[in-house]
Amino acid sequence: MKTAGIIGGSGYTGGELLRLVLNHPGLTLDFVYSTTRPGFPLSETHPDLLGSTSINFTDQVNLEVSVVFLCLGHGNSSKFLEQNKFSEQTLIIDLSNDFRLSAESEFMGRTFVYGLPERNKEAIEQATAIANPGCFATAIQLALLPLATAKKLTNSIHVNATTGSTGAGVGLSATAHFSWRNNNMSWYKPFTHQHLGEIGESINELQGSATTMHFLPQRGDFTRGIFATAYTAFDGSIEEAVELYTDYYANDPFTHVSKQEIALKQVINSNNCFLHLHLHEGTLLITSVIDNLIKGASGQAIQNMNLIYGWEEGLGLNLKASTF
């Protein structure tokens, strides 16, 4: 058994990670660090954990833990690691954006490997530190990786993606308030979203040249999940496109190409990404759906950990969605 620590376990991502760690057959939860809730039971913040654990939040850190997951706000992981020097044997998995770009991947003697298993599986297996991808970045890259690998992204890419309210975090804001979000929809950060940097690095490296991407993120009036569509010019048949994607993801247990049209509920509460392809007059439309809190965050963190420890990639992640 490996011991696990969680830094910042009071938010949506931390809560989902707690559920996965507590039910993972290879992990024992050692501590959950919080500066605002030390001494309080986890189940007071996460009522769904009632009966699952008697552990309380703590303001103490075990620097010898086997694996530590950082669920902190962007920009805070590097500060925390500077103040808390974990053992060289401790695996560090960061769920913020502090180390995702190659220029920021070297930190305190460690190299943070970009943790998208469908892109970097071999490097992940040898890593001691992981930069977990962003949720939008995960959905969009999985939609485009086969095309970039085949050097077929030679035209502009247009992406429209809608995320649920949990993507905005647990803190209350005007656009996360129920009265505003319910029966409502809006865009934000048009063409400038922070995930474009990590997406661009991966896609451009595979493509071998710079690609132009126009990305419009949207707020949906649902709780969790990302529904993303991307379209670009494609010189080939739909059969060739489907074969390209099916072959690329043949050995990836969580990414699947559907012959039928897909819907968001098919992946909610699971670590899956479902893809669907549609060709119209030389334009290929790729639809990608994920759960932003699992495949887009905590589930992918567990998937990366499994790869590093040499465990079965889906260990503790065999979660089924419900479409009703």
* pLDDT tens digits for range 204-261: 999 999 999 999 999 999 999 999 999 999 999 999 999 999 999 999 999 999 999 9
pLDDT confidence band for 73 (50 / 70 / 90): confident
Residue 300's domain comprises: 2-133+295-309
Render pLDDT for 117-132 as a digit per residue (tens, 0 to 9).
999 999 999 999 999 9
Within-domain flag for 152 = yes
Q: How far is CA 279 from CA 69, 142, 249, in A?
A: 41, 18, 19
Sequence-distant (≥ 6) Cβ neighbours of residue 122 within 8 angstroms: none
**Are 93 and 170 found together in one domain?**
no
Confidence of residue 166 (pLDDT cuts 50, 70, 90): confident
Q: Using the predicted structure, report yes or no on whether residue 39 has a pLDDT greater than 70.
A: yes
Would you say 189 and 197 are in contact if contact means Cβ atoms under 8 Å apart? no
Q: What is the mean pLDDT of the chain?
A: 95
Q: Is the pLDDT of residue 6 over 70?
A: yes
**Residues 4, 49, 129, 135: which is the catalytic one?**
135
Domain assignment present for residue 29? The answer is yes
Looking at the fold, whether 96 and 158 belong to one and the same domain comes out as no
Mean pLDDT calculated for residue range 165-179? 75
DSSP secondary structure letter of residue 319: -
pLDDT at position 171 is 64
Task: Provide mean pLDDT across the span 127-153.
Answer: 97
135 is catalytic: yes
Q: What is the mean pLDDT of residues 29-42?
A: 93
- Check whether 267 has a pLDDT greater than 90: yes
Number of structural domains, the chain?
2
Phi then psi for residue 283, to 5 deg, are -115, 125
Same-domain check for residues 145 and 88: no
Q: Is the pLDDT of residue 174 over 80?
A: no
Cα 157 to the chain's mean position, in Å?
21
Tokens of 115: 């943790």
Closest CA to 99 of 77, 125, 122, 67: 77
- What is the pLDDT, as a whole number, of residue 180? 82
Q: How far is the C-alpha of 292 from the C-alpha of 299, rounded, in Å? A: 9
Residue pair 51/81 in contact (Cβ under 8 Å)? The answer is: no
Q: Are 213 and 302 in a shared domain?
A: no
Q: What pLDDT score was predicted for residue 170?
A: 65
- Contact between 191 and 224 under an 8 Å Cβ cutoff? The reply is no
> Does 169 share its domain with 123?
no
110 and 196 belong to one structural domain: no
CATH code (residue 150): 3.30.360.10
